[in-house]
Structure 1
């Protein structure tokens, strides 16, 4: 009987020590997971662009939030959303929205090189006037547009000012009026 009781106590002791050791191990994994998550979010930066322009019968609104993951001081990769609305009363109206993926490289802290792929859904409506019969037709042009931008800019404290070039530029797609585009990009 004493041997059975002693065996039960020893078995219970091993069982409890195993549970305690396992729960401590789970606590360490939990801390590791939390520290990994904190490390990840410490390297995520948010930003984007905002543009507003209004005039007599004219409106241009652009909203482009984005986020990047900063691997180190030189490399970052991210994604963003884009929304554009343009209206020239009585002539033209355009709504475009989509997503982009961007890669950033800083060979030195002040210089930022970028490569960006953008996919937009474009919905254009424009008025066509016929002078010989004084008639106006409303035309629609809806399509997908892909752009690949290569850019360079001067960077300081999360703000970059530069120029980018659309290597897929097509003058007939009515999205961008030229291949070269200035930009202002910020991340905090």
Structure 2
């Protein structure tokens, strides 16, 4: 068995104590409330994901967003969206865009929303019933006014697109149910 001198044990003990206090000091520094930027403490991230598959039908969408809580009654934010829809033998569509979001909470359980959405739409239709195949590319603006019930970070509700036009071939209806969550 190897013997250790008092000075080598003292050095080893000093190094262990120094590392212990160093880690403790770093941990305390990282947990102080002053180290968090006040702006980022009011930011929440959320969004939506959608997947739908059927017989020859595919619908994939992603819509990340971020909001800034101005106060307990008002939040504003930005969102992105991307979706791909395909019905085999009939059409496929790609929609890409951005949203400006406003959420108003008169009481904690009720949330009103304003969602201004600008999207680029790329629809491609296959030849069907003696009609030739064609592609339809355009910009679409939607303004959704919504109301929902809020429980914690999740809101469930319904929104109405006041700019809905059935000839746009973007949304199938002016009314759209929603579930949104922000963390």
Judge same fold: TM > 0.5, yes or no.
yes
Counterparts of 2:157 and 2:166 in 1: how far apart (Å)? 22
Partner of 2:28: none
Counterparts of 1:139 and 1:110 in 2: how far apart (Å)? 47
- SS state of the match for residue 71, structure 1? strand
Pairwise mapping of residues 101-120 of structure 1 onto structure 2 (< 5 A)? Answer: 101-120=100-119
Unaligned residue ranges in structure 2 (runs of 5+): 1-32
Unaligned residue ranges in structure 1 (runs of 5+): 1-33
Partner of 2:24: none
TM value normalised by structure 1: 0.77
Moved beyond 2 Å, runs of 4+: 34-37
Cα deviation digits, residues 91-112 of structure 1 (max 9, x gap): 0100000100000001111100
Cα deviation digits, residues 65-120 of structure 1 (max 9, x gap): 00000111111000010001000000010000010000000111110000110000
TM value normalised by structure 2: 0.79
Partner of 2:139: 144
Q: Which structure: larger Rg?
A: 1
Q: Give 1:185's match in structure 2, choosing from 170, 173, 180.
A: 180
Pairwise mapping of residues 13-162 of structure 1 onto structure 2 (< 5 A)? Answer: 38-130=37-129, 135=130, 137-162=132-157
Count the aligned residue pairs.
151
Q: Give 1:170's match in structure 2, choosing from 149, 159, 165.
A: 165
Counterparts of 2:43 and 2:98 in 1: how far apart (Å)? 18
